[in-house]
Amino acid sequence: MPATFGHFISGKQIPASSGRTRESCSPASGAVVGHAAWGDAVDGEVAVAAARAAFPVWSGKPPTERERVLLQAADKIEQCGDALADLLVEESGSTLRKARFEVDYTASLLRAAAGEARRLYGDTFPNDKPHRLSLVVREPLGVVLAITPFNAPLVLLAKMTAFPLAAGNTVIAKPSEETPLIAIRYAELLSASGVPDGVFNVVTGDGPECGEPLARHYGVQGIALTGSTATGLRIGAIAAAGMKR
């Protein structure tokens, strides 16, 4: 019997506040792969609260510690590569070759991001006052929302979130409603690799009920999106109105 997946918030799966779920079906066979929580603004509020609470902990860790955790996550992805590839094939209709590429590239992205955690350099420049030096210090932004598509659901999720994590941000992922399960599984593997609770969260649902309220939330400081031109224009307008990056 297909399993039911909740949102992934604060290190564990939780059901939608409404109790609603949606089938995730194989594009190839039509078979039900699993059931995912169907989120709304209430669930988004819970995820934002978790991400904001975890931000001081994660951003306060030394870069070498964030590097270590992300390297462990890359190893974990490779260890679970066959199962991840199978889930990609079932849920997204991917070929097995493409699915394995996504898994390998995801591990590579995590390792690249881990290395960048050590290279968050600041800058110095002359001050207009004598005997003084001005410093530029780079700091994490805060909570980053990643809205990901169905066609490369694992690798684009990793590409949008690994580098914000390396920089000390916390993340909320809103995957496509067509491919929610791979995002939940990815979040579980990050958690098992040492990513603290609340640092990486997943809220599943559609754009109008789930994604847009998250994008509008005052607690979200940055948004990453891959989607249609219409969706990009809409999310861009929301981000501009809220002074989000």
Domains, the chain, with CATH or none: 7-241 (3.40.605.10)
Q: Which candidate, 183, 180, 162, places its Cα nearest to that of 171? A: 162
> Both tokens of residue 89?
């094939």
What residues have CB less than 8 Å from 210, skipping those under 6 apart?
A: 38, 39, 40, 41, 43, 44, 174, 203, 204
pLDDT at 123 over 90: no
What pLDDT was estimated at residue 129? 84
Q: What is the pLDDT of residues 198-240, one digit of tens each?
A: 999 999 999 999 999 999 999 999 999 999 999 999 999 999 9
Stretch 113-132: mean pLDDT, rounded? 84
What pLDDT was estimated at residue 135? 85
pLDDT at 2 over 90: no
What pLDDT was estimated at residue 215? 97
* pLDDT range class, residue 131, cuts 50, 70, 90: confident
Stretch 116-141: mean pLDDT, rounded? 84
pLDDT at 122 over 80: no
Long-range contacts of 24-29 (CB under 8 A, 24+ apart): 24/91, 24/178, 24/179, 24/180, 24/181, 26/90, 26/91, 26/93, 27/92, 27/93, 28/93
What pLDDT was estimated at residue 241? 92
How far is 43 from 124, CA to CA, in rounded Å? 43
Q: Which residue has the tokens 């390998």?
A: 104
**Which range is least confidently modeled, 5-19, 115-129, 230-244?**
115-129
What pLDDT was estimated at residue 132? 83
Paired strand residues for 126: 133
pLDDT at 188 over 90: yes
Neighbours of 134 (CB within 10 A): 11
* pLDDT range class, residue 162, cuts 50, 70, 90: very high
Stretch 85-110: mean pLDDT, rounded? 97
How far is 133 from 124, CA to CA, in rounded Å? 7
Q: Determine how β-strand 7-9 pairs with β-strand 133-136.
A: unpaired
What pLDDT was estimated at residue 192? 98
- The structure's pTM equals 0.93
What pLDDT was estimated at residue 137? 83
